[in-house]
Structure 1
Amino acid sequence: MSSQLPAYDDPSDAFPHLFPPRSQSESLDEIDSRFVFDFSTYDEIDESTQRWTTWYDVEPLCRGPEPRPDWVVTSRGAVDTELGILKTGKEADAFLVERADQHDPDNGVVMVAKRYRSTEHRTFHRSALYTEGRSMKRSRDNRAVKAKSTWGRVMAAGQWVTSEWDALKRCWTLGLPVPYPVQVDGSEILMEWITADGETAPRLAQTRPDPALLGWYFEQLHEAVATMAQAGLVHGDLSAYNILAAGERLVIIDLPQVVDLVGNPQGMDFLLRDLTNVCGWFRSRGLEVDEHELFGDIISTSF
């Protein structure tokens, strides 16, 4: 013969001697805080133009260096919204993306998403010259790249994303004027959007600075190139077209082809070419500067 125990909604009903009578307020006050949490509901997103933040989809090493700027949005409830294309290029396209939490829209941020194209739709001009002195962890990957096999082309394509990401992080850590690198995810790099008066900052080539500002721009550029050289880095493709003028501040962009000044046999040639390009632009605006003199000054302080 079997018997069934009565069901109790509250343990205190079954064992009254173990649970003295308490008021409801007293019971709530004694709830362990570890078992209490807040939550918020979010609206559905438009998947044609939006995605949930990818910040937590990437490994910690794929996020920007610390300390991070206050404007970086790390909320798990943030949404990335496509705002349109910013610039097209031979190797990658740049888009504007807003990252914001639905419950905190005022603290959202607009960033640049640089997306590298697939190996079938991109060509790096004289890429072998830039990659001399670089190496991969696996020797077979190095051999594949040199042989230009199918796998080698895939690995070479990934090199450019990694190269720019590493260059941005290193330059930012050195205090150089580059966009803050927020994160890298596959072939996409999210970085700081450089603005002037609320709009995308113009390229230096598009500006007509007065003599005083022109001299100040040159001082900034001299210091930046010298700092890079002291760290063993050369931009490799520096010109007035990949320098942004954010008011009175210059910001250097487009760094996938960064060259090892010492490891690359043509590192010095790249440095002189960079200086020739920028000095030529400054001379065209009326500032008397000499790339050879600047080259000598930078080399003398770098070694």
Structure 2
Amino acid sequence: MRKHDFDRIENAPVRRKQRRARFDDEPAPARSGRLTEAERVRLADLRADAYTETDIPGDRWSTWDAAEHGPAPHPDWVITDLAAVDTELGVLKTGKEAEVHLLRRGIPGGRQSLLAAKRYRAAEHRMFHRDAGYLEGRRMRRSREMRAIATRTAFGRNLIAEQWAVAEFAALGRLWEAGAPVPYPVQRDGTELLLEFVGDADGTAAPRLAQLRPDPDELRDLWHQTTIALEQLAALGLTHGDLSAYNVMVHNGQIVLIDLPQVVDIVANPRGLEFLARDVRNIAGWFTGRGLPADLADVDAVTRELRMTAGLR
């Protein structure tokens, strides 16, 4: 190489890699480098977990300490010990937006409890069924997050998944405290909800309403329970949003409402009354299709009563 070539290389301007513009509402890194402080801590935790993973193969330590908790006081069966271990026992239900797994949380050599682990899809999430209608009336604080959700970027889809998890966990907490028949929400960690397992001690889940063929007396009793549950939601200004015989479980003769990520505020959502009427129409249709007299399952009368309960005319 000739001398003038060396001079040209030495005097060449250094090209710096352009940094991505940061939005005003994005958290600034707490230190220099590629990782934020939160990400650095998260990776450190993962490395620490890797050293202990062989102690409990296939399991994990309880995530209670890092999660958002359900309403206090917690039921006696909720295990809050940090030494507890969560053991995966299998899949209860799969769906487009989430999967539900059976999980046992227990203290080694001590007490145990079964939980339903509902895990919303994040990076793989595409779009919830009719999610635009359900999201009306819900707003997020950061403008960047609102833009990401509106354009359905990968980041936005992750936010949608977490928003559904947050909405369902909050709704379950409110409904539980109001005495509505819903599973107790044990904890939320990101897009994972740990809920009361509705079923038997051997891990057999309670059947959905759609799986039952009740006799006339049982049918009337289940309809009565369902309308009371709808009144309890309406008293809080809510409706299920996607109610059907597949979103109602029956355990020991008692109904339990499940799958509430799309719970609708019938006042704040411009289509709230439409969702309310549809919930009543769908569930009443199942009951009348099984032989319940139409005068008992009068859709217009029940909808009118629920509107009044919610303070609407």
Instruction: State whether TM-score is above 0.5.
Output: yes
Shift of 1:44: 6.5
Choose from 61, 66, 70 the match for 1:64. Answer: 70
Q: How many corresponding residue pairs? A: 256
2:47 equivalent in structure 1: none
Q: In 1, Cα distance between the equivalents of 2:156 and 2:260?
A: 22
Whether the 8 Å CA contact 2:126–2:157 is kept in 1: the answer is: no
2:305 paired with 1:300? no
Whether the 8 Å CA contact 1:196–1:247 is kept in 2: the answer is: no
Would the alpha carbon gap of residues 197 and 74 (structure 1) be closer, same or farther in structure 2, given more than 3 Å must change? closer
Q: In 2, Cα distance between the equivalents of 1:225 and 1:239?
A: 12
Choose from 236, 239, 252 the match for 2:244. Answer: 239
Alignment RMSD (CA, Å): 1.8
Shift of 1:302: 2.1
Please tell me the residue identity of whatever aligns with 2:61: W
User: Gaps spanning 5+ residues in structure 2: where?
Assistant: 1-51
Please tell me the residue identity of whatever aligns with 1:296: R
2:59 equivalent in structure 1: 50
Q: In 1, Cα distance between the equivalents of 2:53 and 2:98?
A: 32
Q: Give the TM-score, by structure 2 length.
A: 0.78
Q: In 2, Cα distance between the equivalents of 1:95 and 1:149?
A: 28
2:291 equivalent in structure 1: 286
Please tell me the residue identity of whatever aligns with 2:83: G
2:165 equivalent in structure 1: 161
1:92 equivalent in structure 2: 98
1:78 equivalent in structure 2: 84
For 1:194-213, list aligned pairs within 5 A. 194-196=198-200, 198=202, 199-213=204-218
Deviations 1:105-132 (A, max 9, x none): xx20010001111233443111000000
Q: SS at 1:224's partner residue?
A: helix
Please tell me the residue identity of whatever aligns with 1:192: E
1:39 equivalent in structure 2: none
Shift of 1:196: 4.9
Q: In 2, Cα distance between the equivalents of 1:150 and 1:137?
A: 19
Q: In 1, Cα distance between the equivalents of 2:166 and 2:215?
A: 38
Shift of 1:43: 12
Q: In 1, Cα distance between the equivalents of 2:201 and 2:78?
A: 20
User: Gaps spanning 5+ residues in structure 1: where?
Assistant: 1-41
Q: SS at 1:265's partner residue?
A: coil
Q: Give the TM-score, by structure 1 length.
A: 0.80
Whether the 8 Å CA contact 2:125–2:161 is kept in 1: the answer is: no
Larger-Rg structure: 1
1:4 equivalent in structure 2: none
Q: SS at 1:166's partner residue?
A: helix
1:269 equivalent in structure 2: 274
Whether the 8 Å CA contact 1:53–1:80 is kept in 2: the answer is: yes
4+ runs deviating over 6 angstroms: none
1:15 equivalent in structure 2: none
Would the alpha carbon gap of residues 130 and 43 (structure 1) be closer, same or farther in structure 2, given more than 3 Å must change? closer
Residue identity over aligned pairs, in percent, reads: 48
Q: SS at 1:96's partner residue?
A: strand
Choose from 176, 195, 208 the match for 1:191. Answer: 195
Whether the 8 Å CA contact 2:99–2:119 is kept in 1: the answer is: yes
Q: In 2, Cα distance between the equivalents of 1:43 and 1:154?
A: 27
Please tell me the residue identity of whatever aligns with 1:156: I
Whether the 8 Å CA contact 1:163–1:256 is kept in 2: the answer is: yes
Q: In 2, Cα distance between the equivalents of 1:186 and 1:233?
A: 24
Shift of 1:207: 0.6
Whether the 8 Å CA contact 1:45–1:51 is kept in 2: the answer is: no
Deviations 1:140-197 (A, max 9, x none): 3223322334433332222111111111111111111111011111221100000158
Q: In 1, Cα distance between the equivalents of 2:193 and 2:304?
A: 35
Q: SS at 2:124's partner residue?
A: helix
